[in-house]
C-alpha cells in the first residue's frame, strides 16, 4: 500500500487518526473506494464522490446505522465518519467461500432486522438507490407507497429515458390497481431496500454483512424479491432459516414478481437494455 496524500489528509481530518497507507479498491461503479490503513492498526474503507448529490453519503451512513441498531440483526460495517463527499466505514474482510452455515445465520439475522420494524411505510427523508433519487415520503399503506414512491416514479423516468416502450409501460401501469388485492397486509418492516447479491459481503468472520442500503420502512417481501431476482449463494437455505425465525404469508413465492418490478425499473432507468421489457413481462403475469 502506498499513500494518496489528498485522500489520506481528508480521512485524517474526519477520523482524527493518522492514515499510514492507502490502496484503491476495485468493484464500485458509483463512488471511488479506497482502503485505509490507520495508525491504530485498524483498516477502513473510504468511499468518495466529488460533487455527490446532496445528502448522498449522509443517507448511506444513516441507513447503515439504522440497520445496525437491531440486536442479532444483519451485520453492517460500522460508520466511522461521513460528510457531503465521502463516507468511511470499518473494513469488512471478505472470503471467497460462501458457507452454508453463514447463509443459515444470514436468513435468521435478516428476519430479525425486518421484525425490528419501522415507524411507517417510508422514511422521514428521501434517499438514493444507486445514484438515482429515491422518494420516501410516508404513505398510509404499503400498496399506496409502493405504487406512488416506487413503481410510478421510476416508470416515468424510464419512459423519459427511452428505456420502456409505451405498450410495456401500459402493462406495468395495469398492476397498480391490483396491488391492494395482491399484497398481504403487514406492519412496516425495517428494509435494506437494495438487497441484491453485490451488496452482501461474505465475511472472513463467517457472517454475511450488508452494505449500500436504500433503507426505509416497507414490506419485507421487497428485500426477499431482490435476493431472488439477482441470486445469492445458498438462497434456499437462507429462506428456510428466515421462515423458521419469522414465517412469511402464504403465497409469498408467487408474489416475488410484484416486488421485483421496482428493481427492474431502477435497472431500466440506469442501464436501459431489456430491463423495461422484462418488467412488463413480469407485470403481465398479474394482470
- The answer to whether the CB of 176 falls within 8 A of the CB of 143 is no
Q: Give the per-residue pLDDT at 273.
A: 79
* Helix 275-284 / helix 166-173 crossing angle, nearest 10 deg: 40
Q: Can you give 126-187 as a three-state secondary structure string?
A: CEEECCEEECCCCECCHHHHHHHHHHHHHHHHHHHCCCCCHHHHHHHHCCHHHHHHHCCCCC
Cell of 272: 436501459
Q: Give the per-residue pLDDT at 81.
A: 97
Residue 25 is inside which H or E element, if any? strand 19-25
CA nearest neighbour of 263 among 202, 210, 199, 189: 199
Per-residue pLDDT of the chain (287 residues; tens, 9 = 90+): 677 888 999 999 999 999 999 999 987 778 999 999 999 999 999 999 988 999 999 999 999 999 999 999 999 999 999 999 999 999 999 998 899 999 999 999 999 999 999 999 999 999 999 999 999 999 999 999 999 999 999 999 999 999 999 999 999 999 999 999 999 999 999 999 999 999 999 999 999 999 999 999 999 999 999 999 999 999 999 999 999 999 999 999 999 999 999 999 999 999 997 999 999 999 999 98
Q: Give the per-residue pLDDT at 4.
A: 81
Domains of the chain, with CATH numbers?
Answer: 5-90 (3.30.200.20), 100-284 (3.90.1200.10)
Strands 189-191 and 127-129: unpaired
Q: Give the per-residue pLDDT at 259.
A: 98
**Residues annotated as part of the active site:** 194
Q: What is the pTM of this model?
A: 0.96
Q: Please report the sign of the dihedral spanned by the C-alpha atoms of residue 120, residue 237, residue 248, residue 205.
A: negative
Q: Give the per-residue pLDDT at 1.
A: 60
Q: Give the per-residue pLDDT at 207.
A: 97
Amino acid at each position: 500500500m502506498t499513500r494518496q496524500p489528498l485522500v489520506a489528509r481528508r480521512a485524517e481530518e474526519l477520523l482524527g487518526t493518522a492514515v499510514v497507507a492507502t490502496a484503491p479498491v476495485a468493484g464500485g461503479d458509483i463512488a471511488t473506494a479506497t482502503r485505509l490503513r490507520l495508525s491504530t492498526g485498524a483498516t477502513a474503507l473510504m468511499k468518495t464522490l466529488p460533487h455527490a448529490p446532496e445528502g448522498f453519503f449522509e443517507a448511506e451512513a444513516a441507513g447503515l446505522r439504522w440497520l445496525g441498531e437491531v440486536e442479532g440483526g444483519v451485520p453492517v460495517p460500522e460508520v466511522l465518519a461521513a460528510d457531503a463527499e465521502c463516507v468511511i466505514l470499518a473494513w469488512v474482510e471478505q472470503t471467497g467461500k460462501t458457507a452454508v452455515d453463514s447463509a443459515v445465520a444470514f436468513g435468521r439475522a435478516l428476519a430479525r432486522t425486518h421484525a425490528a420494524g419501522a415507524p411507517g411505510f417510508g422514511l422521514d427523508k428521501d434517499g438514493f438507490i444507486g445514484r438515482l433519487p429515491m422518494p420516501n415520503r410516508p404513505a398510509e399503506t404499503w400498496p399506496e407507497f409502493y405504487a406512488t414512491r416506487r413503481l410510478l416514479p421510476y416508470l416515468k423516468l424510464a419512459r423519459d429515458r427511452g428505456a420502456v416502450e409505451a405498450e410495456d409501460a401500459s402493462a406495468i401501469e395495469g398492476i397498480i390497481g391490483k396491488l391492494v388485492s395482491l399484497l398481504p397486509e403487514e406492519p412496516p418492516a425495517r428494509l435494506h431496500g437494495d438487497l441484491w447479491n453485490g451488496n452482501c459481503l461474505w465475511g472472513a468472520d463467517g457472517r454475511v454483512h450488508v452494505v449500500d442500503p436504500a433503507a426505509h420502512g416497507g414490506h419485507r417481501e421487497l428485500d426477499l424479491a431482490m435476493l431472488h431476482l439477482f441470486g445469492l449463494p445458498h438462497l434456499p437455505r437462507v429462506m428456510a432459516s428466515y421462515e423458521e425465525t419469522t414465517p412469511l404469508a402464504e403465497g409469498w413465492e408467487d408474489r416475488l414478481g410484484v416486488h421485483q418490478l421496482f428493481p427492474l425499473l431502477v435497472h431500466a432507468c440506469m442501464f436501459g437494455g431489456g430491463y423495461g421489457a422484462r418488467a412488463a413481462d413480469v407485470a403481465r403475469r398479474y394482470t
